Chains A and B, each alone.
Chain A
Amino acid sequence: MTTQFLSPNIRELLGVTPVCTVSDRQIWNRLVTPMTKALLGKILDAAVEVRETISGGFPGDEVTNLNDHRLYGGQDGFVRNRYVATTYKTENGLFITKRDGVKFKAFGWFGDPRKGAMELIFKGALRDRRFDGTKQANDSSLIDFIGYEDAALNAPLVIAGKHVKSVELSVYAFLPGSSVVDVSGDEEFHHFIRNPFTFLDRPELFRQLFDRAWKTKLAPGQVSKPIPDVSKLVVPEFELVARGKRYDFVENAPSHYHVAMWSKSMGYRYADPAQEKALDELTAGIARLKASGVKLTRAQESWVCVVQSLRADLIPEGLNMNGPKWPQDNIGPQNLWMYKPLTEKAKALLEKK
């Protein structure tokens, strides 16, 4: 009898997945757009280190410890899984990459690190989703949101009954000097724009800030003006990088309506039929509002979706859709998952769905 030996992929079982092997060169060349590069300037020098603490090199450079691990006899301030941080000094700031076993994250910081006046202008990441739905997901110190461990809401993508290899994409870009607080000096309004859902427990204040936001060009979540070429160039490049590492699907969790529409325009589809139905209702509601004579900008469309979560009597007249609510508030664990097939194998699998 021939013995059947196990030949598991030990590296991946130990939590080190292909996404972390994307090189800095690839990230800089493909994922940092010409405008972002122009803002940061040329790379001057570099330093690489392995880190195990929450604190980083400067304020804003921190990581997370969502599972509340206490290392070395119970001490706070450490992370379970070490990560590799590479810091490139550029002419006008810093280009930083961070990697642990399941995620790489790239940052563009504008400003002089010696003066401590750094402004985040770019943040882009790919994250392997295989451990989502378990506590192991939260062992990555490079995640910003709670809830990936929730097996009901954030389980890995399953297509036609099969767990597929997928990465979550996240991209943020901010033109320097354009943040709401810098322009207006109003921190509260800045926080409201960043995440209006955190103001739902103060409904009158919400309504007051909503009325103000309605008149701006800012969509919910847009605390700064985006760098114009990022939304045009970056997503296909991320997809290429993911495909290069043999991922079959790319996913994202759009925080607002305009982001979901942007994703949809690039071929992403909703993972959850119930959420898809909610989105269709919101789209139909927006169409009804427009048909009734309400003129809405793209940003206002997103605000209309947000305001549906407000106490009904405070929803501005004419904007109440009487039903659908935006599914992802970035407070709780609920995400609006969208996915896109990257490979022929993935497309074939979708046909079987």
Chain B
Amino acid sequence: MPKFNRFDVVEMLGITPISKVADEELWNKLVTPMTKGLIGPIVRSDPPVLVETVTGKFVGDEASNLNHHKLYGGQAGYVRYPYVRCFYKTQNGAFIVKRDGVKVEVFCWFGDVESGKGEMILKVGLRDRRFDGTKRANDSALLDYGYDDPIIHKTLSPNLKSVEISIYSFMPGSRIVDATGDEEYDRFIKNPFTFLDRSELFLTYFRRAWNGKRAPGQYCSSIADVSKLVLPAIEAMARAHGYDACEGAVSHYHVARWFMSSGYQFTNAPQAEVVAQFTTGLEKIRHDGTPLTRPQQSWVCVIQSLRPVDLIPASFNLSGPVWPQTNLDNACLWVNKPLTDKAKALLAKIA
């Protein structure tokens, strides 16, 4: 009898287990009580729609085409792999689920999104990482960043199934630009690294941010219960769908600390060493008499990238470490948490 190849053709064609998480499960586990309270109960569900264009149902609902595919005779505006959108109108907004073969993404919008007057208040994504490190990863239309670099985006292990998690929450009406009208400052808080090429302006905004309560990246206040409830819910969900590990790519120091406090570890040893240097440096600043809030800790990390180095305020100059993930290039600061015994054993071995 000939030996036939046994393979999972469905997964080889790019449909991974994460795409099977049900809408009900997502609503029940990932949309926190506070978020539910804001958007209100579901009042209408539209039939699922297969979308193959970059444009979405309304402004802010767009998808991406990171590999620059041009379809139907070379036309832009399409995505290679269509995704399914499930739209639920809620009393005060909308709950939207988007899925392709490798990612499920949950959005909560506050306000009348169908008239273009909505505000995104929650975005949670779970993404199967199996194609990372290849161009295939970027074929997902549900990405904000590329994952095709074979070194930076290398998967944990070919023998482990892992999902990348991403969580963002925004309290409605709390956006900097909405409160101050200052769009540039809003952009600075959103990503200060984009201002490094204008060092004087960077310093001006840095000083302003130092006195505020916003950490880098926090251009809105977060919804209080999201950081408490969502991470364990995602991990349970990932485990239930056969994944061995959860991973995150952390943009700032306070996010890294949050992951660490939830049992995550750095994937890359040299990066772990860099973060340890930051921790030591921050401790030294505190020891020298400058108390630091959690947002300020993250700002100290950010300012180490400012050049020339003599522009860095002397008391904050850590003389060495530079924050590894700027969201300007491919570089990621990966953290991971094993969910299964297999992952624990394998990751311990790798470490």
Residues of A whose CB lies within 8 Å of any CB of B are 1, 3-8, 10-11, 13-16, 20-21, 23-25, 28, 42-43, 46, 48, 50, 67-74, 80-84, 86, 88, 99-101, 135
Query: Does the CB pair A70–B45 fall under 8 Å?
Result: no
B251 within 8 A of A: no
Tell me the bound Cα distance from A42 to B68 in angstroms: 44
Min distance, Cβ A14 to any Cβ of chain B, angstroms: 6
Contacting residues, chain B, for A82 (C-beta < 8 A): 13-14, 136
B10 within 8 A of A: yes
Query: Does the CB pair A8–B84 fall under 8 Å?
Result: yes
Query: Does the CB pair B48–A84 fall under 8 Å?
Result: no
| Interfacial residues of chain B within 49-79, with CB under 8 A of chain A in the complex | 50, 67-74
Tell me the bound Cα distance from A247 to B20 in angstroms: 22
Contacting residues, chain B, for A20 (C-beta < 8 A): 9-10, 13
Number of interface residues of B (CB under 8 A): 44
Min distance, Cβ A133 to any Cβ of chain B, angstroms: 15
Contacting residues, chain A, for B68 (C-beta < 8 A): 72-74
- Specify which of B22, B67, B100 is in contact with A14 (CB 8 Å cutoff): B100
Min distance, Cβ A284 to any Cβ of chain B, angstroms: 44
Contacting residues, chain A, for B3 (C-beta < 8 A): 43, 46
Tell me the bound Cα distance from A248 to B99 in angstroms: 28
Min distance, Cβ A18 to any Cβ of chain B, angstroms: 10
Query: Does the CB pair B19–A50 fall under 8 Å?
Result: no
What would 5 A/B residue contacts be, using CB atoms closer than 8 Å? A13-B50, A14-B82, A14-B83, A81-B13, A83-B13
Contacting residues, chain A, for B195 (C-beta < 8 A): none
Query: Does the CB pair B71–A25 fall under 8 Å?
Result: no
Contacting residues, chain A, for B15 (C-beta < 8 A): 10-11, 14, 16
Tell me the bound Cα distance from A73 to B74 in angstroms: 9
Tell me the bound Cα distance from A67 to B86 in angstroms: 27
Residues of B whose CB lies within 8 Å of any CB of A are 2-7, 9-10, 12-15, 19-20, 22-24, 27, 41-42, 45, 47-48, 50, 67-74, 80-84, 86, 88, 99-101, 135-136
Query: Does the CB pair B10–A24 fall under 8 Å?
Result: no
- Specify which of A5, A68, A73 is in contact with B72 (CB 8 Å cutoff): A68
Contacting residues, chain B, for A88 (C-beta < 8 A): 2
Closest to A73 in B: B68
Q: A4-B45, A5-B24, A69-B72 are in contact. Are A10 and B84 (CB under 8 A)?
A: yes
Contacting residues, chain A, for B135 (C-beta < 8 A): 72
- Specify which of B6, B50, B71, B136 is in contact with A69 (CB 8 Å cutoff): B71
Q: A8-B86, A23-B4 are in contact. Are A135 and B10 (CB under 8 A)?
A: no
Contacting residues, chain B, for A7 (C-beta < 8 A): 22-24
Min distance, Cβ B76 to any Cβ of chain A, angstroms: 9
Closest to B73 in A: A68
Contacting residues, chain B, for A11 (C-beta < 8 A): 10, 15, 19-20
Min distance, Cβ B71 to any Cβ of chain A, angstroms: 5
Tell me the bound Cα distance from A329 to B218 in angstroms: 64
Contacting residues, chain B, for A99 (C-beta < 8 A): 9, 13
Query: Does the CB pair A6–B67 fall under 8 Å?
Result: no
Query: Does the CB pair B70–A71 fall under 8 Å?
Result: yes
Closest to B10 in A: A16
Query: Does the CB pair A80–B13 fall under 8 Å?
Result: no
- Specify which of A46, A69, A101 is in contact with B70 (CB 8 Å cutoff): A69
Tell me the bound Cα distance from A8 to B135 in angstroms: 29
Tell me the bound Cα distance from A8 to B67 in angstroms: 28
- Specify which of B2, B6, B7 is in contact with A84 (CB 8 Å cutoff): B7
Min distance, Cβ A215 to any Cβ of chain B, angstroms: 43
- Specify which of A42, A48, A69 is in contact with B7 (CB 8 Å cutoff): A48
Interface-central residue, A1, A10, A13, A24, by most chain B CB under 10 Å: A10
Q: A5-B24, A74-B68, A74-B70 are in contact. Are A25 and B45 (CB under 8 A)?
A: no
Contacting residues, chain A, for B19 (C-beta < 8 A): 10-11, 14
Query: Does the CB pair B27–A84 fall under 8 Å?
Result: no
Tell me the bound Cα distance from A71 to B70 in angstroms: 6
- Specify which of A8, A68, A84 is in contact with B12 (CB 8 Å cutoff): A84
Query: Does the CB pair A74–B74 fall under 8 Å?
Result: yes
Q: A71-B67, A80-B71, A135-B72 are in contact. Are A6 and B10 (CB under 8 A)?
A: no
Q: A14-B101, A71-B70 are in contact. Are A6 and B48 (CB under 8 A)?
A: yes
Query: Does the CB pair B4–A42 fall under 8 Å?
Result: no
Query: Does the CB pair B80–A80 fall under 8 Å?
Result: yes
Query: Does the CB pair A50–B12 fall under 8 Å?
Result: yes
Tell me the bound Cα distance from A23 to B99 in angstroms: 27
Query: Does the CB pair A25–B4 fall under 8 Å?
Result: yes
